[in-house]
Chain A
Amino acid sequence: MARKSHVQTTINGETVEFLCESRQSLLEVLRDELHLTGAKEGCNNGNCGACSVILDGRLVNSCLVLGVETEGKSVETIEGLAEPDKLHPIQDAFLENAALQCGICTPGFIMSAKALLDQNPNPTEHEIRYWLAGNLCRCTGYDKIVRAVLDAAAAK
Chain B
Amino acid sequence: MQDFAYIAANTVSEAVTLLDEKGQSARILAGGTDLIVQVREARRDVDWMIDIKSIPEVNVLDYNADTGLTLGAAVECYKVYAVDEICDAYPGLVDATKIIGGTAIQGRAAVGGNLCNASPAADCIPPLIVLNASCVIAGPNGERELPVEQFCTGPGQTAFENGEMLVSLKIPVPANNSSSFYLRFIPRNEMDIAVVGAGASVTLDNAKQTIVSARIALGAVAPTPLFAEEASALLAGREVSDAAIDEAAQAAQSIARPISDMRGTAEQRTHLVGVLTRRALNGAIQRVRDAA
A residues adjacent to B (C-beta < 8 A): 2-3, 5, 21-23, 25, 44-47, 49, 52, 55, 58-61, 64-66, 68-69, 71, 112, 115-116, 130-135
Bound Cα distance A153, B180 (Å): 35
In the complex, are the beta carbons of B108 and A64 less than 8 A apart? yes
A-B pairs with CB below 8 Å: how many?
A: 87
A64-B37, A65-B108, A133-B190 known; A49+B102 contact, CB < 8 A: yes
In the complex, are the beta carbons of A65 and B6 less than 8 A apart? no
Q: A22-B3, A23-B2, A65-B108 are in contact. List 14 more A-B contacts (CB 8 A).
A: A25-B36, A47-B191, A61-B108, A65-B36, A66-B29, A71-B8, A115-B103, A130-B190, A132-B102, A133-B102, A133-B191, A134-B103, A134-B104, A135-B102
Residue of B whose beta carbon sits closest to that of A3:
B5
Interface of A is mostly: mixed
In the complex, are the beta carbons of A64 and B190 less than 8 A apart? no
Chain A contacts for B37, CB-based, 8 A:
45-46, 64
> How many chain-B residues does the 8 Å CB contact rule pick out?
31
Min CB distance A139 to B, Å, is 18
Residue of B whose beta carbon sits closest to that of A5:
B6
Bound Cα distance A134, B37 (Å): 16
Chain B contacts for A64, CB-based, 8 A:
31-33, 36-37, 105, 108
Min CB distance A66 to B, Å, is 6
Bound Cα distance A130, B102 (Å): 8
A61-B105, A66-B32 known; A133+B6 contact, CB < 8 A: no
Give me the 3 closest cross-chain CB pairs, A-B, nearest first: A134-B102, A22-B6, A133-B190
In the complex, are the beta carbons of A46 and B103 less than 8 A apart? no
B residues adjacent to A (C-beta < 8 A): 1-6, 8, 29, 31-33, 36-37, 39-41, 49, 51, 53, 76, 78, 101-105, 107-108, 189-191
Among B41, B102, B190, chain A packs the most CB atoms within 10 A around the CB of B102
Min CB distance A130 to B, Å, is 7
Bound Cα distance A131, B78 (Å): 12
